Amino acid sequence: DTGVSQNPRHKITKRGQNVTFRCDPISEHNRLYWYRQTLGQGPEFLTYFQNEAQLEKSRLLSDRFSAERPKGSFSTLEIQRTEQGDSAMYLCASRPSQGGALGYTFGSGTRLTVV
């Protein structure tokens, strides 16, 4: 197991296009998180899954954003009708159900540039 994998690493898209990112968590981790990080800022929480259930969504997650985690394995984050303000690093993290506050493992992120 090589950790949390995110694809693609970089994505450049034209304004108005749809994009989809993928996150493959550590296999035994049932909890998965998406964060957004803009340049020079700390990550901001977007959404959280426990297995396949999406249990929490931030108000940052507008109706143009949708996240899924079918079968509780990998997750996808889709942004429809992208805007320049969506340009950011999108981070995925996972952790097991046991272990308290330990065990958040982050991926290397997908950097989105909207032109």
Partner 1 sequence: AQTVTQSQPEMSVQEAETVTLSCTYDTSESDYYLFWYKQPPSRQMILVIRQEAYKQQNATENRFSVNFQKAAKSFSLKISDSQLGDAAMYFCAYRGYRQGAQKLVFGQGTRLTINP
Report the SS3 class of residue 9: coil
Q: Which of 12, 17, 28, 41 binds partner 1 (CB under 8 A)?
A: 41
> Which region among 21-29, 65-73, 76-84, 95-103 touches partner 1 (by CB under 8 A)?
95-103
Q: Does 44 bind partner 1 (CB under 8 A)?
A: yes
List the one residue out of 48, 51, 68 whose CA is nearest residue 60: 48
Side-chain half-sphere of 38: how many Cα atoms within 13 Å? 8
Total chain residues near partner 1 (CB under 8 A): 25
Q: Does 31 bind partner 1 (CB under 8 A)?
A: yes
**Separation of alpha carbons 32 and 15, rounded Å:** 28
Q: Which of 40, 63, 71, 85 binds partner 1 (CB under 8 A)?
A: 40
Q: Does 109 bind partner 1 (CB under 8 A)?
A: yes
> At its nearest, how many Å lie between partner 1 and the CB of residue 74?
17
- Residues constituting the chain: 115
**Separation of alpha carbons 71 and 85, rounded Å:** 31
Sign of CA dihedral 75, 103, 53, 46: negative
Which residues bind to partner 1, rule: CB under 8 A?
3-4, 31, 33, 35, 40-45, 48, 55-56, 58, 91, 93, 100-102, 104, 106-109
